[in-house]
Amino acid sequence: MDPECARLLPALCAVLADPRQPVADDTCLEKLLDWFKAVTEAGSSLLLLQEHPCLVELLFHALRAQDLSPRTLSFALRLAGVFAAQENCFQHLQGDPSLFVASAAGQLLVHILDLAMREPAEGRVCPQAWDWPVCARKIVCHLEDCLRSDAAPRVTQALHVLTTTFGHCHGLWTQGLWVQLSPLVACLLEKDPMPAPHTLVDLLLSVARSSVPSSDPGLWETVAQTLSRLSPTQAGPLAAGILKLQDCPQALRIQAFNVLLQPLACVLEAATQAPATPGLLEGAAGDLMAVDTLPPSKSACVGLLCSALAHLELLQPLPQRPSPWPQAPLLAAAVTILRFCNGSAAPSSEAGGRLCTMLVGCVRVQRAALDFLGVLSQGLGPQELVTQVFAVLLEYLMSPDSSPMVLKKAFQATLRWLLSSAMPPGCCDLEPCAQLVLGELLAMLQKRLCSPCWEVRDSGLEFLTQVTRHWGGQASFRQVLLASELPELTRQLLQDPESYVRASAVAAVGQLSSWGLLAAPSSPEQPAIPQETPLEALLLILTTDSEGFPRRAVMRVFTEWLRDGHAEVAEDPERFVAQVLRAAGKDGDWEVRVQGLELALVFLERLLGPRGSSAAAPPSVTARALRALCQVQLFEFAFRSLFDCDRPVAQKSCDLLLFLRATATPPGSPQEAGDRPNVASVEAALRRWRAGEQGQPLGELAPEAILAVLRSMDLEALRDTLAKSSDHVERSPQSLLQDMLATVGVLGDNEADCY
Amino acid sequence: MEQRNGFMGHFQYCLSGHPTLPCNVLKFKSTTIMLDCGLDMTSTLNFLPLPLVQSPRLSSLPGWSLKDGNAFLDKELKECSGHVFVDSVPEFCLPETELIDLSTVDVILISNYHCMMALPYITEHTGFTGTVYATEPTVQIGRLLMEELVNFIERVPKAQSASLWKNKDIQRLLPSPLKDAVEVSTWRRCYTMQEVNSALSKIQLVGYSQKIELFGAVQVTPLSSGYALGSSNWIIQSHYEKVSYVSGSSLLTTHPQPMDQASLKNSDVLILTGLTQIPTANPDGMVGEFCSNLALTVRNGGNVLVPCYPSGVIYDLLECLYQYIDSAGLSSIPFYFISPVANSSLEFSQIFAEWLCHNKQTKVYLPEPPFPHAEVAVNMLTQDVSLSLLINTLHFQYGAQFIVYFCFIDWLIQTNKLKHYPSIHGDFSNDFRQPCVVFTGHPSLRFGDVVHFMELWGKSSLNTVIFTEPDFSYLEALAPYQPLAMKCVYCPIDTRLNFIQVSKLLKEVQPLHVVCPEQYTQPPPAQSHRMDLMVDCQPPAMSYRRAEVLALPFKRRYEKIEIMPELADSLVPMEIKPGISLATVSAVLRTKDNKHVLQPPPRPTQPTGGKKRKRASDDIPDCKVLKPLLSGSIPVDQFVQTLEKHGFSDIKVEDTAKGHIVLLQEAETLIQIEEDSTHIICDDDEVLRVRLRDLVLKFLQKF
């Protein structure tokens, strides 16, 4: 701890201990705690406490005082946890009604237990309960009392403490602890109704992830029983947790997977006309699948389905996901759910009818099912099912009743399925079925782009951008797209009143134009009216749009065009870059300026070769490049950016200039002898810019002068300064302590005034 | 005072099978109330369109002949694109007129302007002498709808009136849907303007929540139903019975005042009609679809035709379109509203414009933006004190949106964004510019200016017809125009209650019984699995169909009776239990105008000996001297002691299921004491019986 902080600390401790002094806010205390953590990690905490008795006093005071604010108390407890001291004063605190205090007290208990058990456990396999230190025995006793209690909050608190213990403490002693406490936990599991089921699930999962299962195979038995005793809604998180475990008995995994599959199996059954159709839970007990097992209330049923879908969605990409993965029935279930939701699935029974009534029009389930369906595109499926998938996605995309959010999800899922239908994967040719779908999609998109709802226009444009990115070169796609109104509609949406839509239209125009899909229509009846080119249109947005999003989008498109050699840009890249940098340099939005530097970097790479290659460019190339850079006034832009008030701009510029210097003036390259270029005027301008006077232009610059300036600048030091966060001064612990005391100081003054 | 009333049944006569064009007659207490008189116009779909301009295509259609080549119907029936149509003045299917003598109807309650279109048929041709009740906007807009209808049909005179095909034996031979058309013999031509005026003159205007007494027996009250300007639900109640009549209602917040749900609570019976005709389509989604298709068409250089009524959904569409046209780059596209009553439809707004003094007008008509918020407009309007009273009244009655809406429409016209014409002839043909959007009637596509536009634009695939009115099947409406190149889009916008909303409403207001058209008690035939598309309530709703009479299930049957003050003064109540007092009353029950009054009985006629002529009231028979009423119970032990004191011996008491038997063995007499009776059974010894009776009476209270 630096001396200045050490000097301030006693005053601060006094303030914290004084209930009349309101603590500034929680964030201060959090920061203070972080700082103490850093300090204790760096040195001995015992020494720290010895050197600063004020800390010990604060802790003692906090434990005794009755009128301390909960936030200060919670802070003191956590601080105590950090120091792992004051082990005797915890029990009466744990039942504190304040959630923060209870949680902090719980954490403190865990710390103490860990600390107490670590030492005796060293060298032994698993200490028996009678070997535990007094302090640990006391804590365990307290926990046992809580677990036996009829008061739900006490049980919950004990379970929380145990969950944290098994989650954070990895000593072998935890195995002994489980042996000691598991009978009590088992009793809780058998109670009807089960107390705090969610917390119990957390505990079981925490124990299952610890080293306990290696010593106590009985744990799996307990978990399996719990799984079957919990209601489907409660069992979901436990099942999902089990399936994410690296190592657990196969039978339990099957049981857990069935828990997640069951709601989907019910849905499938509800829509199945012939009972012979293979279901999701083949081999499982028939009554498990009865639709009646779904909760009768709409909210519970919807909640169960959504959570099952969400769990399965998270599970799908994991390497430890169940194998074999029932891809086909899952696809069928997702499609069926979506059909129930839009009212197109016919239920096969009365119970199915009730399910249909609950799901019709339910946006929550639609969103969850569409997300899940999207994830399932990672696997294959029988052709007829894939056809159904596209059919239901089209239904959703075409339905006027799809909410904007559902529509967005449907677009995303459709894109994923189209991508997975490429034949062979990665190639731009689509399966015939997907090909057909794409045609219908484009027809639908035309209408969506005319929607009065801006969210719909926006997600429509995003989708168009994506499909064009992937299939813009494919002949049949081009044919359908060019025959449609889409290019013209997209161009019109550049003037949309909603800035997000304009931004998406910019991206779409960028993509369409890249593929040559924005050609002005010309026919004998309608001779081509001279329209502004896409480049002109986007430049207009860059220079005139009042909102940041469209201008940023334009910069991204321009960068991409430059990188990919867009035809219109390739005609005269220097002119293009000069125009864009001039506009970006004046832009008030720092993201636009950063993007301008990105574009400048791309331009540099075109001239000098890619970044990262160690070889310096040959002198002739460098000379040509420097001339071009001077011509487009890149330096004016880069140097100004170097002193930009927004740090990311300055950082980016610094990187760019470092790259340029490294390539154009490799170390050891001979300084040109003779007449040194006069850089005084440049340096003077830079000094003024640094001082915040931006008006002065740099004027015409010779390449030599540029090189000289680059050499003379300490760009590395600048980069290091910039790398520190802009508020690094304000963030120092000293500043924190001063701030906290200053707040209190003001209060103190006021208090004095009162007398 | 209450009186059990077991002699009066309540019935509903169902005269229309159309759930959204209802016509029911309620016999409630001693009144006969007609609830709405909707006109089913779907019958017109069987007729050929009436072209405003000579149509070579329609006039050269071949006559239809039977399979055997018999062509006797070829003048009446024409074949067009595989369908057969009646070539005659279109006719409408009236409500049932035979089920009940309509001249006995006391009042007609109208719930909204769509549900009064059959009014002239009822008021002018059935001997109806009662009163019609409706709110002012309902009458104003209803008049426009009727005027337009009459105008559409009268301005294309058609001499021919087909009747041969209606012969039952002939109808059987016709192809569908003519073969299956119901009640064709009762179909009637449109009424005249004279009949409309006469019918409307029988309407009495009412305001929301106004209580109207009907013959002292029943009170009716219109409540805001939120569906259209002036639309109402009705409460029909007596002192102890309440019927709610829920017709077209909406929970969407558009220009009308919100639906009043609270007043529907505590109903014995709730009659539920006028739900959405398209329960699977959400109006918001449909408006979006409408805008998208409209924009796509005009951007592509095509015209858009919107068949519509001169009031109703068109208001909502214009409002949405206004917000959309500029953003969609459509500000240069003309919008035309063509209707013989277009001018009057916008009358309200013009009246408002006249009311406003010049400087206020400029404030209200600030072009950018016109009326972002309701409050702004209303505040501007109410700066003029002389107007504020009127505006407040309208505001109170029909909501702020009502005023803002009309100002908005007027603004559209003033700024030339919406141009309106009475017909395609005249000014319109000079101003007409394409591509454009035309709003015009009639949604059936059988008459009105829309017929002309269908003929004009039907051949180009650039054009689009967008159906927004849900009353007619769009495929049937299009049948006589096939083959059609123009695009057809079906965006039915029906803001009336859907089944989810109904379910919530019923849970909220909890009527004892629900009565509704049979269509609402089962899923739609085309979606038989959609159990969510039906009324779900407990006990299950009672359903009705056309020409059915339904006995309404009322549980409470009481009447309120007033006691005259002087009679009340004469009563001597006796407390028989704490808080409960009884008094005997002798009085005359007088019933007049369905009010019941207890009057003091006439004094016994004094033998005056005079020669006065008897007055009518003296005819009431003299009241006999009444025996007192007894109450109380007989404590057996004390009774036995009393008997012993009076010399009876050898008394034995037996307990029975209902009380006790006191046996006087010596006298061979038994006294049977039960909760509500005491019998003395003795062997023809009247003296003994009277003695015993008097002893019993000592234990009872008399009054």
Q: Which of B470, B419, B462, B409 is nearest to B440 (CA)?
A: B419
Give the residue on A whose Cα is nearest the Cα of B532: A357
Q: Which residue has the tokens 């049944």?
A: B9
Question: Given an 8 Å threshold on Cβ–Cβ distance, is B287 in contact with A451?
Answer: no
B343: CB partners within 8 A, 6+ apart: B420, B422
Looking at residue A92, its amino acid is: H
A346 in contact with B, Cβ within 8 Å: yes
| pLDDT at position B515 | 96
B448: left (phi over 0), alpha (psi -120 to 50) or beta: left
Residues of chain B with Cβ-Cβ distance to A451 below 8 Å are: 288, 291-292
**Angle subtended at Cα B516 by Cα B511 and Cα B518, rounded to the nearest 5 degrees:** 145
pLDDT band of B356, cuts 50, 70, 90: very low
Question: Given an 8 Å threshold on Cβ–Cβ distance, is B288 in contact with A453?
Answer: yes
Q: Is the pLDDT of residue B312 over 90?
A: no
| pLDDT at position B79 | 92
Question: Given an 8 Å threshold on Cβ–Cβ distance, is B491 in contact with A400?
Answer: yes
Question: Given an 8 Å threshold on Cβ–Cβ distance, is B288 in contact with A353?
Answer: no
pLDDT band of A34, cuts 50, 70, 90: confident
Q: What is the pLDDT of residues B593-628, one digit of tens each?
A: 778 899 988 876 655 554 444 444 444 444 455 667
- Which of A357, A447, A498 is the closest to B532 by Cβ? A357
Residues of chain A with Cβ-Cβ distance to B289 below 8 Å are: 400, 447
Question: Given an 8 Å threshold on Cβ–Cβ distance, is A360 in contact with B292?
Answer: no
A447 in contact with B, Cβ within 8 Å: yes
A214 in contact with B, Cβ within 8 Å: no
Residues of chain B with Cβ-Cβ distance to A399 below 8 Å are: 285
| pLDDT at position A44 | 74
Q: What is the pLDDT of residues A333-354, one digit of tens each?
A: 999 999 999 988 888 788 788 8
**Angle subtended at Cα B637 by Cα B633 and Cα B639, rounded to the nearest 5 degrees:** 60
A735 in contact with B, Cβ within 8 Å: no
A523 in contact with B, Cβ within 8 Å: no
- Substitution target from A359, A399, A450 for chain B, most B beta carbons within 10 A: A450
Please give the full DSSP string across A211-251, using - where no structure is assigned. Answer: SHHHH-THHHHHHHHHHHHS-HHHHHHHHHHHHH-SS--HH
Give A352→chain B minimum CA distance, Å: 9
Question: Given an 8 Å threshold on Cβ–Cβ distance, is B282 in contact with A401?
Answer: yes
Q: What is the pLDDT of residues A619-658, one digit of tens each?
A: 888 888 888 888 888 988 998 888 888 888 999 999 999 9
Tokens of A714: 């300490």
- CB B404, CB B374: distance < 8 Å: yes
A492 in contact with B, Cβ within 8 Å: yes
Q: DSSP 3-state assignment of B605?
A: coil
Question: Given an 8 Å threshold on Cβ–Cβ distance, is B281 in contact with A347?
Answer: no
pLDDT band of A752, cuts 50, 70, 90: very low
Residues of chain A with Cβ-Cβ distance to B328 below 8 Å are: 450, 452
Exposure on the CB side of residue A522, measured as CA atoms within 13 A = 7
H/E run at residue B438: strand B437-440
Q: What is the pLDDT of residues B16-27, one digit of tens each?
A: 989 999 999 999
Lowest mean pLDDT among A280-294, A601-615, A731-745, B430-444: A280-294
Q: Which of A574, A538, A578 is nearest to A558 (CA)?
A: A538
- Count of Cβ atoms closer than 10 Å to residue B303 Cβ: 22
Residues of chain A with Cβ-Cβ distance to B319 below 8 Å are: none
Q: Is the pLDDT of residue B317 over 90?
A: no
Question: Given an 8 Å threshold on Cβ–Cβ distance, is B281 in contact with A448?
Answer: no
A661: CB partners within 8 A, 6+ apart: A710, A711, A715
Percent of chain A exceeding pLDDT 90 equals: 36
| pLDDT at position B345 | 60
- Angstrom CA distances, A464 to A415, A487, A730, stand at 10, 10, 46
Question: Given an 8 Å threshold on Cβ–Cβ distance, is A456 in contact with B527?
Answer: no
| pLDDT at position B366 | 34
Q: Which of A398, A420, A282, A381 is nearest to A344 (CA)?
A: A398
- Which of A347, A354, A450 is the closest to B328 by Cβ? A450
Looking at residue A570, its amino acid is: A
Give the residue on A whose Cα is nearest the Cα of B284: A401
Q: Is the pLDDT of residue A684 over 90?
A: no
Residue A557: phi, psi to the nearest 5?
-65, -45
Please give the full DSSP string across A704-723, using - where no structure is assigned. Answer: HHHHHHHHHS-HHHHHHHHH
H/E run at residue B591: strand B588-592
Burial class (CB in 10 A: 0-12, 13-18, 19+), A727: exposed
A704 in contact with B, Cβ within 8 Å: no
Q: Is the pLDDT of residue B355 over 80?
A: no
Question: Given an 8 Å threshold on Cβ–Cβ distance, is A400 in contact with B296?
Answer: no
pLDDT band of A389, cuts 50, 70, 90: very high
| pLDDT at position B249 | 94
Is the pTM value of this prediction over 0.80? no
The verdict on ipTM greater than 0.90 is no
A217 in contact with B, Cβ within 8 Å: no
Question: Given an 8 Å threshold on Cβ–Cβ distance, is B299 in contact with A450?
Answer: yes
A456 in contact with B, Cβ within 8 Å: yes
Give B420→chain A minimum CA distance, Å: 25
Mean pLDDT across chain A: 83
Q: DSSP 3-state assignment of A435?
A: helix
H/E run at residue B668: none
Query: H/E/C letters for each residue in B197-210?
Result: HHHHCCEEEECCCC
Q: Is the pLDDT of residue A283 over 70?
A: no
Q: DSSP 3-state assignment of B655?
A: strand
Tokens of B20: 């959204």
Q: Is the pLDDT of residue B145 over 50?
A: yes
Give the residue on B whose Cα is nearest the Cα of A404: B285
Q: How far apart are CA B97 and CA B119, in angstroms?
A: 13
A306: left (phi over 0), alpha (psi -120 to 50) or beta: alpha
Residues, chain A, total? 755
Q: What is the pLDDT of residues A56-74, one digit of tens each?
A: 788 878 777 777 777 788 8
Count A/B contacts: CB-CB distance under 8 Å: 72
Alpha-carbon dihedral sign for residues A331, A337, A343, A348: positive
| pLDDT at position A126 | 56
Alpha-carbon dihedral sign for residues A328, A331, A336, A339: negative
- Substitution target from A301, A336, A357 for chain B, most B beta carbons within 10 A: A357
More confidently predicted of B193 and A422:
B193
Give A442→chain B minimum CA distance, Å: 13
Tokens of B104: 């006995």
